[in-house]
Amino acid sequence: MEVSIRRLCDAAYGTPTEPYFAAIGPGEHLLGRLDGALVSHLMWVTRWLQPEGSAPLRTAYVEMVATAPAERRHGYATALLAALPPLLQDYDLAALCPATEQLYHRMGWCFWRGPLSTRKDHELVSTPEERVMILPLSRTPTLNLDLPLSVEWRPGEVW
């Protein structure tokens, strides 16, 4: 991963993000550049979200959406989100845990309404404090957003 990505995310989140990248693991990065300089970033990793009673969905789980503080409110994050769906044609769904809602709402993302949990050691562990947004893709089956939804456990931030 480019050092500039971590620098951008450190500045955007106001904290060292190396531990977050380590917990997330490797993924695909989408970069927004202005005159060659990195100004905006997002990445996705493959996770398996499972509505109760259905097979797990191969999910592009979006992380580390970040724009350089000096370049905000110019539409860069919006442009990256708009470019995303065509890149996710091998996925059943896109999802993320939002720190801000308006940006994603405008781009067609919506909240999962049902209860969330994580699958750990063959058990479901409730995660009531979490909220997740999803974006239907061309391969997404009809979903009931009121059903319970689980994701495989991971260290750090589960959702």
Ligand X SMILES: CC(C)(COP(=O)(O)OP(=O)(O)OC[C@H]1O[C@@H](n2cnc3c(N)ncnc32)[C@H](O)[C@@H]1OP(=O)(O)O)[C@@H](O)C(=O)NCCC(=O)NCCS
Q: Quick one: which of 99, 92, 36, 89 has its CA closest to 63?
A: 99
Least Å distance between CB 151 and ligand X? 16
Of residues 67 and 127, the one with the C-beta less far from ligand X: 67
Q: How far is CA 112 from CA 82, 95, 97, in A?
A: 20, 9, 10
Residue 87-116 contact track with ligand X, rule CB under 6 A, x = bound: -----------xxx-xx--x----------
Q: How far is CA 110 from CA 3, 49, 113, 120, 139, in A?
A: 32, 15, 9, 26, 17
Instruction: State which of positions 3-42 bind ligand X (CB under 6 A).
Output: 12-13, 40
Least Å distance between CB 68 and ligand X? 8
Least Å distance between CB 54 and ligand X? 26
Q: How far is CA 132 from CA 5, 38, 68, 145, in A?
A: 24, 27, 24, 11
70 counts as binding ligand X under rule CB under 6 A? no
Strands 149-152 and 37-51, sheet pairing = antiparallel
**Contact pick of 24, 60, 66, 88 for ligand X (by CB under 6 A):** 66
How many binding residues for ligand X (CB under 6 A)? 19
Place of tokens 């905000």: 72
Of residues 40 and 150, the one with the C-beta less far from ligand X: 40
75 counts as binding ligand X under rule CB under 6 A? yes
Dist. CA 68–CA 4, nearest whole Å = 11
Task: Tell me the window of 65-73, 84-92, 123-131, 141-149 that interacts with ligand X (CB under 6 A).
Answer: 65-73
Q: Which residues bind ligand X (CB under 6 A)?
A: 12-13, 40, 65-67, 72-78, 98-100, 102-103, 106
